[in-house]
A and B are shown apart, each in its own frame.
Chain A
Amino acid sequence: GQQVMQIPQYQHVQEGEDFTTYCNSSTTLSNIQWYKQRPGGHPVFLIQLVKSGEVKKQKRLTFQFGEAKKNSSLHITATQTTDVGTYFCAANQGAQKLVFGQGTRLTINP
């Protein structure tokens, strides 16, 4: 079945530094969704990308969907301690099933 690979698995940054996580698939994706899970919490939906080459911004967060719709990235500018958590990408396999990446755990040194 469809798989999405996410790198890096862990990222530790100093507060104020930028952070990027990448999501890759060997097959063309119909869409990509991004979620954030705080420590001890549950995944919270951030955004969905559907179009080839799409770029969306939410304040300091920038989401991109590759031209071939096989990869995506989430970039955070000037991280803050509130950004701590695990970021997951997820893609549809059929209309019902969401396939999640392994996640990138972000920790921040204040």
Chain B
Amino acid sequence: ETGVTQSPTHLIKTRGQQVTLRCSSQSGHNTVSWYQQALGQGPQFIFQYYREEENGRGNFPPRFSGLQFPNYSSELNVNALELDDSALYLCASSLRSGGYTDTQYFGPGTRLTVL
């Protein structure tokens, strides 16, 4: 069983640029959630993807968008980067089974720095 993987590990961008972060879910999982974790804070829910569609969104602007692919891997795209977008971006996969959110398994994260 392979765990959640994310790429790249670190990334440096400048204001106004666009970035794409990637996530491969744990084998057997069909749901991917993305979180933003600023330094010293708890993770903030960005959105969740299930069956290749956005399935729940947090308080993030439309310039945060995503995709889920048939193999359940996922991308997070952020356009028009701002300095405040600097954070650790976490991907978490789970197996949708109905009811409460199922146990989420987090990847190692991508550290994004916006200069």
Contact = CB atoms under 8 A, between A and B. Distances in A.
Interface of A: 1, 6, 30-31, 33, 35, 41-45, 48, 50, 88, 90, 92, 94-103
Contacts, number: 60
Given A95-B99, A100-B43, 4 more contacts: A33-B103, A42-B88, A98-B33, A100-B42
A78 to B, nearest CB: 27
A88 B43 CA distance: 9
Considering the complex of A and B, which 8 residue pairs feature the smallest CB-CB distances, nearest first?
A: A96-B56, A100-B42, A42-B106, A96-B48, A97-B45, A43-B106, A100-B43, A92-B101
Give the interface centre of A41, A100, A101, A102 by most chain B CB atoms within 10 Å: A100
A41 B41 contact: no
Interface of B: 33, 35, 41-45, 48, 50, 55-56, 58-59, 88, 90, 99-101, 103-109
B56 A48 contact: no
Contact of B104 (A45, A94, A95): A45
Contacts of B35: 100
Contact of A44 (B42, B45, B48, B106): B106
A100 B44 contact: yes
